[in-house]
Structure 1
Amino acid sequence: MPVPFEALIPLGLITGFFGASGILFQKLKVSVNEGQPPRYGLDRWDRVMMERDLRLTGTMRGQSHQTTAPAEFSTNSAWDLETEHL
């Protein structure tokens, strides 16, 4: 029994749209992560290093090649200041 060619047009459209949306979603994820693949399974150490990179370079994925930290790094502490409650 032959396949009706009319059924191939919607099948091609559906496949094309699913493929295009998958490619666009992947490109969006990569662009959000500054051109690098997304991170999965982050533990506490990874999050601390991401905060350090944010304070050093201004981005979560950026890394610095300088051997010494900039002068601003000593004043932008990651510690939250406690307020005294009387």
Structure 2
Amino acid sequence: MDYFIIFVTTVAGLYFHWWLYMRIKRWMDRDLALSLAGKDEEKRTFMLEQLAHARLQKIKRRDLPQWLEAAAAGYLAR
């Protein structure tokens, strides 16, 4: 019974750390998109939509800043 308790708490702890790590990554990506938008509400909405498109296209995180910067520059041309 002791091993079962240790196993369950270890799995729960690992899951929690994974969940927290994923949340922090999403928050960082969202902050990046919003920082590129500035205070313009329409651009903030646009950048959050672009972030969603980047996730659908499975843009790698290392390429995400450049991708979002290009999207922000595309907004200025509109």
Name the TM tier (shorter chain): 0.3 to 0.5
In our comparison, the structure showing a higher alpha carbon Rg is 1
More helix by share: 2
TM-score by length of 2: 0.47
